[in-house]
Copies of this chain bind each other. A is one copy, B any other.
């Protein structure tokens, strides 16, 4: 079902062995065949995508993502596609220009395939997308369409955004690789930012090689493209694992997955010790939720003031909950974040990279919720980069993902370590 990886594809197109037109046509065919059921896409214009592909074929200079189709979450501006942020308020909205992240991808030769379904303003109310592994289950959210499209082989790469667990959780639920960069590592200009402290642009792919390539373009670090290849050559120097302080809220399959992941890493030659969750870091869970709520109410103040009737009941009531918070609560939460971030060594200790749950477990059997971002909250608030890697299946046979996490700013170390772990876990799982 899955098309070639982005790395392979870009190499073949760069070498003239395949055309971008052919590659993009393949993606559009997969969408045509499957998206009536999957509902991953919010806006498509095959003529625009094909013309962009032909422009890549005509251009003598082939970029590192030459001809690679990218699906773009509909919270991200695109000049050539309607961008409605998952809300009827912006139906028909056509931004003047692409977002910065889209510009960077197009500059590297990527072709925008279309816009993918986002939860309303990347918050709570789900769109229509289904989980490719079981249509009655959520794909996760808020980057629902992007995760589903990559999992269903409709696009080799997709952009998402994350406020709590909006990249990592759907990656886990859909069985693909997800990457959420360090805070402020990828430009957010042209993204409808809902939580200014928390929101980040990230992406989905089939492998860490593809994540490395995507990250190298999004973060303007050309040498990152080779990170996965180099990472596989030796075990990460220091590895730890944790269920956070909320392990009791994970399904048994998830707890076992994290422990087994650490075990396999040890068997592969890495040191992988449990790390203790510092007591005061437990405050990060509630602080994250407070910041998310308070900033959502602030960012959507105009929509709430002028277009309230067009907000979902779920979002309107979250905004109202935020407006009832005692005024000191939000600055206190920011202070908690600052203070834990300044003391991050007390969590990581001698480890450079940690293994942790990507979600409480498998995708819930509902389309009315996108699942619980509980386990993603502390990393997001600390600004840590995270890669979620598929790690087997849960009790109901659906995918489970394990998070690999590094200190803020350590994206290169993270991607290299994730590549080593992907190889280690893949070989062992096969053995």
Contacts and interface: CB of A to CB of B under 8 A. Distances in A.
Interface of A: 79, 89-90, 93, 96-100, 102-104, 106-107, 184-185, 187-190, 193-194, 196-197, 220-223, 295, 298-303, 305-307, 327, 330-331, 334-335, 338, 341-342, 408-409
A103 B190 contact: no
Given A107-B305, A408-B338, A409-B331, A299 B96 contact: no
A90 B184 CA distance: 26
Contact of A298 (B106, B187, B222, B306): B187
Q: How many copies does the complex hold?
A: 2
Nearest to A411: B331
A299 B197 contact: no
A188 B196 contact: yes
A305 to B, nearest CB: 5
Nearest to A104: B301
A100 B302 contact: yes
A358 to B, nearest CB: 25
Contacts of A188: 193, 196
Contact of A327 (B223, B303, B330, B335): B223
A109 to B, nearest CB: 13
Given A104-B298, A107-B305, A221-B331, 12 more contacts: A93-B96, A97-B302, A98-B302, A100-B300, A100-B301, A100-B302, A187-B196, A187-B298, A187-B301, A189-B299, A189-B302, A190-B302
A46 to B, nearest CB: 22
A187 B196 CA distance: 8
29 contacts: A79-B302, A90-B96, A93-B96, A97-B302, A97-B303, A98-B302, A99-B302, A100-B298, A100-B299, A100-B300, A100-B302, A103-B301, A103-B305, A104-B301, A107-B305, A184-B334, A187-B196, A187-B299, A189-B193, A189-B194, A189-B298, A189-B300, A189-B301, A189-B302, A190-B302, A220-B298, A222-B327, A335-B409, A342-B342
Closest 8 CB pairs of A and B: A187-B298, A189-B299, A342-B342, A97-B302, A103-B301, A100-B301, A103-B302, A221-B327
Contacts of A221: 327, 331
Nearest to A322: B220
Contacts of A194: 189
B185 A331 contact: yes
Contacts of A90: 96
B338 A409 contact: yes
Given A409-B335, A409-B338, A196 B184 contact: yes
Contacts of A96: 89-90, 93
B334 A409 contact: yes
A4 to B, nearest CB: 27
A355 to B, nearest CB: 24
Nearest to A335: B409
A42 to B, nearest CB: 18
Contacts of A338: 341, 408-409
A251 to B, nearest CB: 35
A327 B220 contact: yes
A342 B342 CA distance: 5
Contacts of A303: 97
